């Protein structure tokens, strides 16, 4: 009789779930892992810009002038700035992964140092590259 | 053949091919590493080329991009980054596992 009532009430069973990211404190290593994937995905779409730029150069002066105009607008510059950071962040993150592939850098101090170096390096390099870019642009005029 | 190999359900030919349940594990692993290592100098070259072309007109850009060294570098850059990205869409997460182990110890 007990068995029948249990079957009829259909109480949901609380089964253990494997831990997911929502239960952990956000750590910098976790955020950098996510950032690596997001920048990688963004670069995929950034390749469209690269394709547009190269095709415009191959097409002729008019098409190229259109690309140059767009890249000069505020939105164009923001996209380019984002692309620069995504590219540098992803390549530095890639180097970090290659270090990890050798089995090194997994300790609590080393991995924190690596992700901080990735973030600091990518931001610094992006700013330096843009300063150099503006200097080149200024010199060419 | 080692004795341990006989205890697995995978056939020797399957082990040699390196194909797991995903059918492309080893190839994917190596593709990611080879393109990743190649991307380091190729990205640096790409950045240098783009900076060198800033502000130039179309004729100058075509001339520089058309020079053999620059053209080869750009071609290799495009092939390497798109090939890696196309393959990366199927990758599993390594760092998330590491991160979880690290974060849960806090």
ipTM attached to this prediction: 0.80
Residue A26, token pair as written in the block:
């956000």
Interface of B with A (CB under 8 A): 33, 36-37, 39-40, 43, 47, 51-52, 54-59, 61-62, 65, 74, 78, 81-82, 85, 88, 93-96, 98-100, 102-106
Give me the residue from B40, B43, B98 closest to A29, CB to CB. Answer: B98
pLDDT attached to residue A131 = 96
Q: Which of B77, B100, B105 to mutate to test the interface with A (most CBs of A within 10 A)?
A: B100
d(CA B54, CA A73): 15
Q: What integer pLDDT is reported at residue B102 of this predicted model?
A: 38
Residues of chain B with pLDDT under 50: 1, 92-106
Q: Quick one: CA dihedral A53, A55, A57, A60, positive or negative? A: negative
């Amino acid at each position: 009789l007990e068995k029948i009532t249990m079957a009829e009430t259909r109480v949901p069973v609380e089964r253990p779930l494997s831990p997911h990211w929502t239960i952990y404190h956000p750590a910098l290593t976790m955020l950098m892992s996510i950032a690596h994937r997001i920048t990688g995905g963004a670069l995929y779409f950034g390749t469209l810009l690269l394709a547009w730029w190269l095709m415009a150069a191959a097409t002729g002066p008019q098409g190229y002038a259109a690309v140059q105009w767009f890249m000069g607008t505020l939105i164009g510059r923001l996209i380019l700035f984002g692309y620069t950071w995504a590219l540098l962040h992803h390549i530095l993150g890639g180097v970090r992964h290659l270090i990890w592939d050798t089995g090194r850098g997994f300790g609590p101090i080393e991995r924190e140092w690596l992700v901080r170096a990735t973030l600091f390096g990518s931001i610094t390099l992006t700013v330096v590259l843009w300063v150099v870019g503006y200097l080149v642009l200024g010199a060419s005029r | 053949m080692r004795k341990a190999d006989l205890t697995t359900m995978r056939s020797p030919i399957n082990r040699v091919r390196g194909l797991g349940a995903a059918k492309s594990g080893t190839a994917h692993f190596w593709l990611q590493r080879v393109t990743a290592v190649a991307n380091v100098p190729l990205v640096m070259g790409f950045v240098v080329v783009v900076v060198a072309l800033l502000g130039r007109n179309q004729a100058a850009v075509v001339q520089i991009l058309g020079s053999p060294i620059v053209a080869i570098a750009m071609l290799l850059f495009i092939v390497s980054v798109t090939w890696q990205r196309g393959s990366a869409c199927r990758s599993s997460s390594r760092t998330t596992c590491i991160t979880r182990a690290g974060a849960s110890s806090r």
